[in-house]
Amino acid sequence: MRKHHSSLMAVGAILLLILVACTGGGASPSGAASEAPSEAASEAPSAASESEAPMVDFLACQVSDTGGIDDKGFNQNAYAGLEMAQEELGVEINFLESTAATDYERNINTFIDEGCDLIITVGFLLGDATAAAAEANPDQLFSIVDFAYDPPYDNVQGLVFDTKSASMLAGYLAAGMSTTGVVGTFGGIQIGPVTDFMIGFEAGVNYYNDENGTAVDVIGWDSASGEGTFTGDFENQDNGRQTAEALIQEGADIIFPVAGPVGLGAMAAVQDSGGDALYIGVDVDQAIGVPEYEDIMLSSVLKRIDNAVFASVEQAMSGSFDAPVYVGTLENEGVGLAPYHAFEGEVPQELTDGIAALQEALISGDVAADDWATP
């Protein structure tokens, strides 16, 4: 039995895996996560409809983070992957919401007792609880979103994403669309899966400046110092509104929050700015997921957790995982940049072409976000 190493994110190893995975080309997806139930704990439908695959003897269960199963982003996107597995693979599914960190261990153990074939834990913050359960139950299969272990566990698959590359595309877009020469970002909690977005965003702005001889400035995050603006949570929308308002007051006309439901407050602030700012979403295509804010949604950085969850369920049905880490990349449509929707006619063709060229360079390895994160 392996010793618990949840405190080691093994960033270098994960980045190496990402670089190895980025070897081809592919278009970015544009679908958003579907709506999921909002009850604190609920059992998903177990009877397949005529349009679904025949039910099989496999139960896939999911434990959400505290953002909630209907957070219009991270947790909801993960649940959409379970729904996809139910429809296309015929598995039974179930989920439990965590309303506080103290729920993680209890929810995981509940699903172990219920005989779930695969337990999917959603988020970096469930790393300790998932590792403890995996060590205590070596025959139980787990997947965890936004986390990987070093050394890996035989019974746990980490689901990680090259969000730096996708966010670099967003930073390039933001720099090209800014009229004030200032763009802003902020995070919920300062953890790797959040700061990766912010690092990539700054890299994209720096790359745009180098390519076009401009001097667009990023506020809210500085890769050189590792310091930035964080609300300290993923739930309080008032914090999101206040933080976005402060960035707009400092001159930012593109706002890129990485903060789960906190971002809904930031969306309201941007919308209330009366056209002084635009918004770039995260995780899902938020112009679709939160349509009331489509008028300010320039694009979104897509983190296809749904595809990763589906792939993990499909592999677990064979009794094992193809690899201890699944890496979502631009090449395999695990990450990407959403369409511009209402702004399709406002993004200059030259900027669109520049983004496409940058994506090709990221996929080929000719450009790496980390190389451009600091000026």
Give the CA count within 13 Å in the CB-facing half-sphere of 156: 31
What lies within 8 Å, CB to CB, of 253 at 6+ separation is: 178, 179, 180, 182, 183, 276, 277, 278
Contact 174, 205 (CB under 8 A): yes
Q: How far apart are CA 307 and CA 29, in angstroms?
A: 11
Rg over alpha carbons for the chain, rounded to the nearest Å, is 20
Q: 């270098």: which residue's tokens?
A: 12
As a whole number of angstroms, the distance between CA 118 and CA 28 comes to 28
> Would you state the pLDDT for residue 271?
98
Predicted confidence pLDDT, tens digits, the chain (375 residues): 333 333 333 334 343 333 333 333 333 333 333 333 333 333 344 433 444 567 789 999 999 988 778 877 788 999 999 999 999 999 999 999 999 999 999 999 999 999 999 999 999 899 999 999 999 999 999 999 999 999 999 999 999 999 999 999 999 999 999 999 999 999 999 999 999 999 999 999 999 999 999 999 999 999 999 999 999 999 999 999 999 999 999 999 999 999 989 999 999 999 999 999 999 999 999 999 999 999 999 999 999 999 999 999 999 999 889 899 999 999 998 999 999 999 999 999 999 999 999 999 999 999 999 999 987
Q: Is the dihedral of CA 23, 26, 28, 31 positive or negative?
A: negative
Tokens of 176: 């090209």
pLDDT of amino acid 28: 33
Nearest to 128 by CA among 5, 276, 265, 312: 5
Classify burial at 150, counting beta carbons within 10 Å of its beta carbon; exposed 0-12, middle 13-18, buried 19 or more: middle
| pLDDT at residue 319, rounded to an integer | 87
State the pLDDT at residue 8: 35
- pTM assigned to the model: 0.80
User: b/e string for 16-33 if b means 16 or more Cβ within 10 A?
Assistant: ebbeebbeeeeebbbbbb
The class that CATH gives domain 164-303+339-369 is alpha beta
Q: Do domains 11-161+305-328 and 164-303+339-369 have the same CATH topology?
A: yes
Consecutive H or E run containing 132: helix 127-136
> Tokens representing 175?
């720099």
Q: Confirm if 124 and 73 have CB atoms less than 8 A apart.
A: no
3-state secondary structure string, 61-101?
Answer: EEECCCCCCCCCCHHHHHHHHHHHHHHHHCCEEEEECCCCC
Q: List, as one string, the DSSP characters of 120-131.
A: EEESGGGHHHHH
11-161+305-328 homologous superfamily: Response regulator (3.40.50.2300)
Residues in the chain: 375
Contact predicate 221/261, CB 8 Å: no
Q: What is the pLDDT of residue 54?
A: 74
Cα 179 from Cα 190, distance rounded (Å): 29
Q: For 273, list phi and psi in degrees, rounded to 5.
A: -75, -10
Structure tokens at 5: 């190493």
Question: Using an 8 Å Cβ cutoff, are 254 and 280 in contact?
Answer: yes
Q: Where are the domains of the chain?
A: 11-161+305-328, 164-303+339-369
Residue whose C-alpha is closest to residue 161's, from 74, 227, 225: 74
- Of residues 36, 57, 35, 37, the one with CA closest to residue 46: 57
Contact status, residue 243 vs residue 204, Cβ threshold 8 Å: no
The pLDDT assigned to 11 comes to: 36
